[in-house]
Amino acid sequence: MMSALFRDDVRDDNEHDRLPLTVGDHLLALHARKVKHASHAQVAMVARLPGPVPSRAEGERLVREATDRAPVLRYRVAGTAWRSRFEPDPRFDPVRHLDLVRVPPGRTMEQCLREALDRPLPADRPLWSLQFVHGHAPDEHLVCLRMEHTMGDGMGALLILAAFLTPQSLPVPAPQPRAGFPPLPVLRRTLPPLLQGARLPARWLPAKSSRRHGLTHHDFALDATLYQGIKDRTGATTAQVSTAVLAGALRAWAPRHWGAPLPRRQRHGLRTGMTLNVRHPLHPSVLGNHVGMLPLTLPCHEPDPLRRLQHVMAHADPREKDDYRRLCQYINTLAPVPAWLLSRTVRWLTRLLPRNVGVTMMRGPGTCPTLHGMPLSLSGRVVLRPALGVVGFVAFRDTVTVTLTFEHMPPAEVGRLARLLPHALAELHDRLCGTD
């Protein structure tokens, strides 16, 4: 990452005053205007820290230092329609983005986050805030970075939170290099699977969804030693193991849908999509959304955990992933007018798609961040539609964290899925490694 700083009193020659929105940025801006509650259009990253909450003065110092290291925090969205753009806020004051939230004693972490994230973001400044949530326990506090999703994706929010808690510096926002039009063979390989996503998906829910249930959120960590044992014996990647584990957990979550004989609708597994990072490797940008979609089939129909992993490895063709990355990079760098028109078209089409489960996988920055030697619990709330639920994996060198966010599902059922994921990982490990 670049270490150049962007200070109030020093103009950085690398600063780009106006940066166009990507197709994803336009989509999320449209989504933000339609949701009933603003928090449903925000992305948040949370760290659970030991010790008492910092004082207001300490919090202000932390915010000022972090905005020097992360100039992305000085940007806002300006303009309308295809003229929408990111630009620095001329009246930027980092202290105005600090929020100390006191909650009653005894509140759970989920209750604390719900109360904090439901507080409105100010519309007259860059749409983010750093919240210190305290009062629920005497020996810990929460640090929550939340942003309107238009301002950044999950990876961007994770890196920005790390800039608040560590000395890491982030690059000055800059436009992504324009990607070339994908060759015809790439289009032939990528477009048909995308169109299959409109088909009716397999049944996968254990209970009927209901609007009386709001958002339910769980975050936890999976055993990294089990991951390593599976990878050593199969050559699978962390993402492939996570996909197979998710398929096993979803199968156990709703076993009545996957029992023999399988109906035709269930025979090919659960078709869904996984987010794909399309940032340029030489010009990484934290500002805005730089993600694409990779068609993904979860082999829930396979009863054997090893066969589920083999299915994932056989169908996770590296060339296919590269093809979709090339296609999405081209779309991500479209000119402003085509990007705006495409976003409105995609927004209309998503209303016709069946509600499904979304999968996100990110590679964390090195090891799981720690403060004073204690690991941080990172989690995030994400935009759901058109997905009914989103399962997010963040792979660090020393652990894999998981985030579950479901809408309109009974909280007890979401909690049961959270317990089934570690069980599915242990089941796959035992199938390969026995009890050694």
Residues 316 and 407 reside in one and the same domain:
yes
List, in order, residues 6 or more apart from 180 with CB less than 8 Å away: 330
What is the layout of strands, in order, in the sheet containing 75-78? 19-20, 85-88, 75-78
Q: Is pLDDT above 50 for 3?
A: no
**Cβ contacts of 397 within 8 Å, gap of 6 or more:** 366, 367
Q: Judge if 262 and 332 occupy the same domain.
A: yes
Is residue 427 over pLDDT 60?
yes
Domain holding 87: CATH number? 3.30.559.10
Q: What is the pLDDT of residues 42-66, one digit of tens each?
A: 787 887 788 888 889 999 999 999 9
CA 214 to chain CA centroid, Å, is 19
Please state whether beta strands 356-363 and 387-395 pair in parallel, antiparallel, or not at all (unpaired). Answer: parallel
- Claim to verify: residue 211 and residue 127 sit in the same structural domain: no
The CATH number linked to 417 is 3.30.559.30
The count of domains in the chain is 2
d(Cα 410, Cα 215) in Å, to the nearest integer?
A: 9
- In this predicted structure, what is the pLDDT of residue 428? 96
The more confidently predicted of residues 27 and 226 is 226
* DSSP H stretches of helix in 76-202: 109-117, 154-165, 184-196
159 and 58 fall within a common domain: yes
Residue 287 belongs to some domain of the structure: yes
Q: Tell me: do 120 and 261 sit in the same domain.
A: no
- Taking the C-alpha atoms of 43, 49, 54 and 58 in order, what is their torsion angle to the nearest 10 degrees? -70
Q: Could you tell me if 221 and 130 lie in one domain?
A: no
Cβ distance 103 to 136 under 8 Å?
Answer: yes
What the block records as the tokens of 5 is: 């700083």
Q: Strand locations in 195-305, DSSP E?
A: 215-222, 270-277, 291-298
pLDDT of 69 > 80? The answer is yes
Residue 247 shares a structural domain with residue 309: yes
Q: How far is CA 345 from the centre of its chain?
A: 23
307 in the same domain as 190:
yes
Residue 119 lies in a domain: yes
**Domain contains 171:** no
Domain residue limits at 345: 184-433
Mean pLDDT of 314-336: 86
Do 154 and 192 fall into the same domain?
A: no
DSSP 3-71: ----BTTB--TT--S-EEPPHHHHHHHHHHHH-SSGGGGEEEEEEEEESPPPPHHHHHHHHHHHHHH-G
Find the range with the poorest average confidence among 106-115, 266-275, 419-428.
106-115
Span 121-139, pLDDT tens digits: 766 656 888 989 988 888 8
**345 domain residue, yes or no:** yes
Whether 175 maps to a domain, the answer reads no
DSSP conformational letter for 396: -
pLDDT in tens, 139-150: 888 888 888 888
Give the distance between the most distant pair of CA atoms in the chain. 70
Domain membership of residue 325 (yes or no) is: yes
Q: Which of 101, 132, 165 is the last residue of a domain?
A: 165
345 and 389 housed in the same domain: yes
What pLDDT band is residue 14 in, cutting at 50, 70 and 90? very low
Q: Which pair of tokens denotes residue 423?
A: 């069980």
Q: Same domain for 278 and 370?
A: yes
Instruction: Give the C-alpha separation, 277 to 288, whole Å.
Output: 12
In a domain, 9, yes or no: no
At residue 167, the pLDDT reads 82
Structural element, H or E, at residue 358: strand 356-363
pLDDT tens digits for range 290-303: 888 888 889 999 99
Q: How far is CA 158 from the centre of its chain?
A: 9
**Model confidence at 11, in pLDDT bands (50, 70, 90)?**
very low
**Domain assignment of residue 6, yes or no:** no
Same domain, 161 and 190: no
